[in-house]
Amino acid sequence: MMNLHFERSGPLTELSSYPQWAQDMVDACDAAKREVVDHDIWPAMCSLAMTPEQTSTFMVGLWPVIEGFPGYMARSLLKTRYGRSAGDDMARRWLVRNIRVEQNHAEYWLQWAEGAGVPREALLQGPLPAGTQDLAGWCTDVSANETLEAGMAATNYAVEGATGEWARRVYESEQYAASFPEESRKASLRWLQLHAAYDDEHPWQALEIVCSLLGKSPSALEVAHVKECIRRSYVCMGMFADRCVQDMHATRYEPQYAPLAAARA
Question: What pLDDT, in 10s, does the model give residues 44-86?
Answer: 999 999 999 999 999 999 999 999 999 999 999 999 988 888 8
Residue 194 maps to a domain: yes
Residue 6 maps to a domain: no
Residue 53 maps to a domain: yes
Residue 254 maps to a domain: no
Q: How many domains does the chain have?
A: 1
Q: Which of residues 249 and 115 earns the better pLDDT score?
A: 115
Show the domain range for 145. 24-247
CB 37 within 8 A of CB 252: no
CATH code for the domain of 182:
1.20.910.10
Instruction: Say what the pLDDT of residue 25 is.
Output: 98
Mean pLDDT, residues 196-223:
91
- Rounded alpha-carbon distances, angstroms, from residue 46 to 173, 208, 234: 6, 32, 21
d(CA 72, CA 208): 18
CB 204 within 8 A of CB 12: yes
149-203 per-position pLDDT tens digit: 999 999 999 999 999 999 999 999 999 999 999 999 999 999 999 998 855 788 9
CB 147 within 8 A of CB 225: yes
What are the CB-based long-range contacts (under 8 Å, 24+) for 80-84? 80/148
Confidence of residue 93 (pLDDT cuts 50, 70, 90): very high
Mean pLDDT, residues 226-246:
96
* pLDDT cut 70: percent of the chain above it: 91
